[in-house]
Chains A and B, each alone.
Chain A
Amino acid sequence: MRDPTPTATKVGRGAGWTRLIDNERWLWPVMLAPAVLYIVALVGFPFFLSIYYSLSNATVGSRELSFVGLENFHRIIASRTFWVALENTLIFTAVSQALVLVLANVLALALSVDFRGKWLVRLLILLPWVAPISLGSIGWLWIFDSIYSVINWTGRAVGIFPPGFWPIWLGQPYLAMASIIIVQVWRLLPLATVIILAGLSSIPHDINDAAEVDGAGFWRRLFEITLPLVMPVALVALLFGIIFTFTDLIVVFVLTRGGPYDTTQVLASWAYFTGIQGGDLAGGAAISLFLFPVLAAVAILFLRFARRAEVV
């Protein structure tokens, strides 16, 4: 740092570039700038804008803004839909993530064993993650269609569904919730599987061998060795899933639009319908801010687990 010249004098012309690139004082801000810019423009600015809106009476149609304090929040908490949406969000997140955690562990364990055509199975499992979410959801829209549902027709053809039994997947309250949970699990399973698979393959073979020689059968090895060792990594996958699910509205938007009777309305979709489609920007902003404390808590947990995983 104190004396950067000796090499430069020898190299002469053309060294200007090299020196600039090698100069750490300039290099790190330049490297960080895109990320910082991205966060400020697409996360920070909207975040503060929504705080500002939530304290005002902003609407889509009006250019005038006036400060109304916490009135929007009072209004929302007083609304029955808010409590329904909050409950739905929690159920949607908890059930889908519990399923993802269990299924991803099972899948990852199955994929960690060597067998023929493993790469093909891995590729197929990754596909839902690679496919655009809205495209996938539209596919599911047809699968759950009230008239053309593949599930119903197959069920009838095979004889599992008795005559007169014709579930309207997206139109009946409990079935609609089950449907969006299934699609969310389908979406997030690949990522969780890949993360857990990476965790599994980082466990040294010797440890499994040692447990086997020490007399542990499959289940004891699974519950006392493999799962505890993969847990820090699995928790990272879980926290990812929680954040994705909590803030996501695409599945709900495409499949049910929150219906029937708000039984699948989640906070994110309700914020969208209120703020963008309903034109009540202030209300939408206030709703979306309810997500913030939960996500902040999750993010803190996230960072703590990440640090613990580093230490091990």
Chain B
Amino acid sequence: MATVEARHLVKSFDGLRAVDGIDLLAHEGEFLVLLGPSGCGKTTLMRMIAGLERPTAGDIVIDGNIVTDRPPRARNIAMVFQSYALYPHLTVKRNISFPLRAVRMPKNEIARRVDWASRMFGIERFLDRKPRQLSGGERQRVALARAVVREPAVFLLDEPLSNLDAKLRNSAREELKQFQRKLATTTIYVTHDQAEAMGLGDRIAVLERGKVRQVGTPQDIYTRPVDTFVATFIGSPPMNLIDDGASGVIGFRPEAFLPRGIEGGDDHVVFPFRINRIEYLGAERLVYGVIEGRDPGTIVIAKMPTNIRTAIAAGERHEFAVRRRDIERFDRTSGQRLDKGGR
């Protein structure tokens, strides 16, 4: 177990700042997710932590020691790649034992550890096979076993689930979380998939254009986004943002935007909502439309659970309401959230 820290970290490629001054701390045993759109620098940040990429400026600190100048093998980290990066010419057993052989561990200790790791991921049957004889899910488990086997101080996972099909991905996510809990090893996980980030992370760091926009628990990030980028990046569909004249931009989540009178209480803001289109998604309806009297180019989305049976149809005009406490305000130019008084 260890803490991992990035201090004023910068990485430029040909003058372009892929990572642009990042300060970030992963606590001991924490599951920290780096979330961002592609090209936001999350993978570069992870590769610098691994030692595969040299920072242009700044430092990497693992467990209190500055490791910026140390090669990957002197950092006691394990990494799982998106492609799994299994050694194609080695059997599963030799793949898993590779990190142990690299540190010249005694043979019987290697055998014991390989046995332990392969049991943990249920791959004892495949030990003598080559990676190409395994399915995607099995390969992913081998990659995880290879990462776990030498009990590193830090796990780095680079989109390890993105090559699995959707169904397998859900179960793998659940398992991954359990393994991490059991091992209690500091884990840094890179993804562009917000559902993965929300489901796995103890905390999430949202990155954009080489900078950390917000770090917080999944709930923090979802309910109190610090700016309009985070507000629209997290959530599916994203938070509705509408121009509110002088006071800036107001935002509310689609699920908070419901036909008037559905929710009790009286502290609501009511909007006249002209409906353009309705998508029926089984558990919910997505209602697309515009708010009358506002910018007609701004599409607003309402997410209504199917058990709200209010009859609505495209082309109609209805009154929709949002509870006042579900409304966030943002500065129009900087995009920063404006804190409401008394909260």
Contact = CB atoms under 8 A, between A and B. Distances in A.
B72 interface: yes
A213 B79 contact: yes
Contact of B87 (A207, A213, A217): A207
B113 to A, nearest CB: 14
Contact of A209 (B52, B89, B103, B150): B52
Contact of A213 (B77, B82, B86): B77
Given A210-B79, A213-B77, A225 B87 contact: yes
B71 A209 contact: no
A225 B89 CA distance: 8
B89 A211 contact: no
Given A212-B71, A312-B132, A228 B89 contact: yes
B73 A207 contact: no
Interface in B67-111: 71-73, 77-79, 81-83, 85-89, 98-99, 102-103
Interface string A198-238: 00000010110111111111001000110011000000000
B52 A213 contact: yes
A217 B102 CA distance: 8
Contacts of B11: none
A229 B52 contact: no
B102 A215 contact: yes
Contacts of A216: 73, 98, 102
B36 interface: no
Contacts of A207: 85-88
B89 A214 contact: no
Contacts of B103: 215
A217 B79 CA distance: 16
B160 interface: no
B88 A312 contact: yes
Given A209-B52, A210-B79, A312-B132, A215 B85 contact: no
Contacts of B99: 214-215
Nearest to A312: B88
Nearest to A205: B85
A204 B98 contact: no
Nearest to A218: B71
A134 B88 CA distance: 43
B73 A215 contact: yes
Nearest to A214: B99
Interface of A: 204, 206-207, 209-217, 220, 224-225, 228-229, 312
Interface of B: 47, 50-52, 71-73, 77-79, 81-83, 85-89, 98-99, 102-103, 132, 146, 150, 156
Given A206-B83, A220-B102, A225-B87, 17 more contacts: A204-B85, A207-B85, A209-B50, A209-B85, A210-B79, A210-B85, A210-B86, A210-B87, A212-B71, A213-B73, A215-B102, A215-B103, A216-B98, A216-B102, A224-B87, A229-B89, A312-B132
